Amino acid sequence: MTDSTNPSAPPSLGPSRRAWLRFKRNRLGFWSLVIFCTLVVLSLFAEVISNDKPLVVRYQGQFYYPLVNDYPETTFGGDFLTPTDYLDPFIREKINADGNWAIFPINPYGANTLNYFAKEPNPSRPTRDNWLGTDDRGRDLLAQLIYGFRLNVLFGLALTVIGVFLGVLTGAIQGFFGGKTDLFFQRFIEVWTSMPELYLLIIFSAVFAPSVSLLLILLSLFGWMGLSDYVRAEFLRNRQMDYVRAARALGVDNWRIMWRHILPNSMTPVVSFLPFRMSAAILALTSLDFLGLGVPPGTPSLGELLSQGKNSIDAWWISLSTFAVLVVTLLLLTFMGDALRDALDPRKAAQ
Amino acid sequence: MSTAALLEVKGLQVAFGGKTVVRGVDFNIQAGEKLALVGESGSGKTVTALSLLKLALNADVQGQARFDGQDLMQLSERQLRGVRGSDIAMIFQEPMTALNPLYTVGNQIAEVLQLKQALSARDALQAAVELIAKTGIPEAARRAQAYPHQLSGGQRQRAMIAMALACKPRLLLADEPTTALDVTVRGQILDLLTDLQRETGMAVLLITHDLHLVRKFADRVAVMEQGHLVEQGPVDTVFANPQHAYTRKLLASRPERNVVERLAATDNAAPSAVIEAAAVNVAYPVPLPGFKGWFRQGQFDAVKNANFVLRPGLTLGIVGESGSGKSTLALAALGLLPFTGALHLTGQTWSRDAQANKALRRAVQVVFQDPFSSLSPRMTVEEIVGEGLVVHAPELNAAARRSQVLKALEEVGLDEVQFPGLLARYPHEFSGGQRQRLAVARALIVQPQVLVLDEPTSALDVTIQKQVLALLQRLQREKGLSYLLITHDVDVIRAMAHDVIVMKDGDIVESGTVEQVLDAPQNPYTQRLVAAAQ
């Protein structure tokens, strides 16, 4: 250590920027991130990709937007005032005749669309109409997978965000204040951890009407303890550091010390666990759905499809394609997690 | 054949991942000779020693090292294991980490004897006890049963030496053997090494940055700078007549006194004080052993009944060894630890209310020892230095704050010309001395009256230490700052302080002006401390 570090060199990048560059250098992790983000963004537009309503209809010189408005069948020359079933061959004919036209999504089925006009018995194997086949009620499998993927990923994301928020908050308070606060919280966490999560879920699903938000709240209540311990340990370590003492000597208040000084230096375990936590959250929802304790019936979800696959074992396309989606999702998250862990590892950083 | 050196190193080059750290080093050690390898951190002196035994991990080593005729670099790992320990032994800087915490020291020494000399377990343990006795640890038989954490730092280093000498090596590599120890213990360990060397006639390669040590111990000295061996020769010749510019710089690195001396008149006319401590006590709660600890906590008195006065514009040095309570006293003075007794800083005292303390926080600032842990690695220079203004001058806008930050940085000798984009840089881009300057700038920006300096230069190399002390002296002259200087280094006290208090085990054992305490110490402990620094 001499006092002659190359002074004329331009200022180098901040720690997080350098970590990002190291992350990018891991091709597998980087491309996993790109693919995963693409898939998530695409699934956010699921209504445009897979829907039983056309995007635009031109009928007798007028434009109709069935995605936004519901039109009765009589609009297109049908007999009833019920909402139009655009898969009805009669309506199809009307819409496509006499210079009328309609633009359908790539996959013309919604998540709960029953194909009453299927040419095969349910569950139907993959056909020209249903690319991945249908389930035992005649719902298109591809549509179910798209909507199910969206639900699972968004649920996992929400669960992770809430878990991180609670975990960081409680861990920070325990680690920073220490002493009696820490002692109390630790005992509370021990009591809380010993509650049987699955039984609570069963009880709650009997008492309340099952819904996604109820499930989110219940799982969040038990999803923050692991992270809390890591953050607590980091805070306990970092609050001893001289830079925290120096900040105290400057008269910086506790919240600012926690937020500006300790938290940025304690985020490594939080960030490197994010993808793993998210895959665990996705898996949790999937397994609850598989057991029938998860989202309400009729909601498209990967776990529900898996249990359908189990029930109709001959319909190999159900279990196989659901399994494939699940494996790809979890694999992408795991690759991202590996890359992130390497990027944030100070020992690898030195090389 | 008789003139052949015991160890002959030729063109030694060591690289880590393409980065060369040792660039072609040549030196010889005769049998029974004491050679000191001197240099600052990063000069490659430790790596040189480690690579002689191929102990440097992932290193690309080239060159020759002939030990007793055979080239160590050509030996297989298996052959090298035969050399390590029995022909060439090594002792390390930090005996706490060099000894295995799970085995008693007796066991660890006996293991070496069993492996290398094929002694039976019982004979080996007996021999280990004798070795421990030889290194001057009292009650050797009982101490052999102790685990490393049960021994004091000095005793641990003695046990390390006993282990290294177990197989009567012909060459001992001693890597900073006294650096981690207290000053008074250093002398004892050095005497022990000298005695053992005389007795066994082994050669010693002493790696150190401490020139006192070299002068006392070595026959010849080799000076390293950035991987090059720039000068070597007999100690007397090199010290009396250094040839290389770097050697001269190293020898001239003893800190110089350049402070405003106290005016004689102020002694009589009841002078004002910026810090006045009367009967200050600091105690830590400690767990009691056994089931007693379930119900109540014990108490460790870190500072007992401390009285001192810091005069405006002057420096009060607090000197003591590790565990003497000097840093605890500093933290209490900063209001970061609860204490009892009266402590008045610029007429006020610390209260429990954070708001009430705010003005006082501005008046008393601090610089810590370790420049690597005292700056948050995730904040930029602007954020670090500007933080005090955010707290104490929230009315300033970003531009005004930035100009003040630049001014503070300029005062400590850091500017945009030297470091383009200085404000956006992160601490990891600066060297130890530069980081310490940043820490000083962070403290100065709120214009304090008192600066608590907690071992401000202990983690720095000697030449850098001199620069940082000169900076502190200049700031005191220009701004009339008062310093509360905590250090274990008598040289630093001599250069900086006007008044001194000496602490041992929480007590102030001696206090007075720097001349009184250092030139005519009364307390036996002070006398030992001063003598050790000669």
Q: Give the model confidence (pLDDT) of B193-244 as tens digits.
A: 999 899 988 999 999 988 888 988 899 999 999 889 999 999 999 999 999 9
CA-to-CA distance for B486 and A41, rounded, in angstroms?
59
DSSP class of residue A260? I
CB-CB neighbours of B116 under 10 Å: 19
Phi, psi of B465 (to 5 degrees): -55, -45
CA distance B245 to chain A (A): 15
pLDDT at B453: 95
CA-to-CA distance for A106 and A81, rounded, in angstroms?
27
Cβ of A241 under 8 Å from any chain B Cβ?
A: yes
Return the residue of B nearest to A237 by Cα: B373
CA-to-CA distance for B422 and B416, rounded, in angstroms?
6
Regions of chain B short of the pLDDT cut 70: 1-3, 263-271
User: Which of A1, A243, A248 lies nearest to residue B41, judging by beta carbons?
Assistant: A1
Q: Which of B149, B152, B175 is nearest to B91 (CA)?
A: B175
Cβ–Cβ under 8 Å, residues A155 and A145: no
pLDDT at B399: 92
- In B17-114, beta strands by DSSP E: 19-29, 34-38, 59-67, 70-71, 88-91
CA distance A170 to chain B (A): 22
CA-to-CA distance for A123 and A141, rounded, in angstroms?
10
What six digits make up the tokens of B121?
């377990």
pLDDT at A4: 44
Return the residue of B nearest to A242 by Cα: B374
Cβ of A346 under 8 Å from any chain B Cβ?
A: no
Q: Does A250 contact B421 at a Cβ distance shorter than 8 Å?
A: no
pTM, two decimal places: 0.82
Residues 6+ apart with CB under 8 A from B318: B308, B326, B329, B330, B484, B485, B486, B487, B500, B501, B503
Q: Which of A248, A239, A265, A263 is nearest to B442 (CA)?
A: A248
Cβ–Cβ under 8 Å, residues A312 and A220: no
pLDDT at A350: 47
- DSSP-assigned states of every residue in B221-262: EEEEETTEEEEEEEHHHHHHS--SHHHHHHHTTSPPP--PPP
Cβ–Cβ under 8 Å, residues B313 and B475: no
How many beta-carbon contacts under 8 Å exist across A and B? 115
pLDDT at B502: 94
Return the residue of A nearest to B359 by Cα: A251
Cβ of A1 under 8 Å from any chain B Cβ?
A: yes
User: Which of A1, A7, A242 lies nearest to residue B419, judging by beta carbons?
Assistant: A7
DSSP class of residue B36? E
CA-to-CA distance for B487 and B377, rounded, in angstroms?
26
CA-only gyration radius of chain A, Å: 26
Q: Does B226 contact A2 at a Cβ distance shorter than 8 Å?
A: yes
CA-to-CA distance for B308 and B270, rounded, in angstroms?
15
Residues 6+ apart with CB under 8 A from B486: B317, B318, B326, B327, B329, B330, B452, B453, B454, B455
CA distance A255 to chain B (A): 13
CA distance B27 to chain A (A): 24
Q: Which of residues 207-266 of B touch A (CB under 8 A)?
A: 226
- All residues of chain B having their beta carbon less than 8 Å from the beta carbon of residue A264 are 376, 378-379
Which of B45, B372, B373 to probe by mutation at the A interface, max A CB count within 10 Å?
B373
Q: Does B467 contact A3 at a Cβ distance shorter than 8 Å?
A: yes
State the complex-level ipTM: 0.81
Cβ of B328 under 8 Å from any chain A Cβ?
A: no
CA distance B372 to chain A (A): 9
Q: What is the pLDDT along chain A (351 residues), one digit of tens a residue?
A: 344 445 456 666 777 888 888 888 889 999 999 999 999 999 999 888 888 888 888 888 888 888 888 888 888 877 888 888 888 888 888 888 777 888 888 888 888 887 777 777 778 788 877 788 888 788 888 999 999 999 999 999 999 999 999 999 999 999 999 888 999 999 999 999 998 888 888 888 788 887 888 889 988 998 888 899 999 999 999 998 899 999 999 989 899 999 999 998 888 888 888 898 999 999 989 998 888 888 888 888 899 889 888 888 888 888 899 999 999 999 999 999 989 888 887 666 544
- All residues of chain A having their beta carbon less than 8 Å from the beta carbon of residue B41 are 1
- All residues of chain A having their beta carbon less than 8 Å from the beta carbon of residue B369 are 242
CA distance A109 to chain B (A): 50
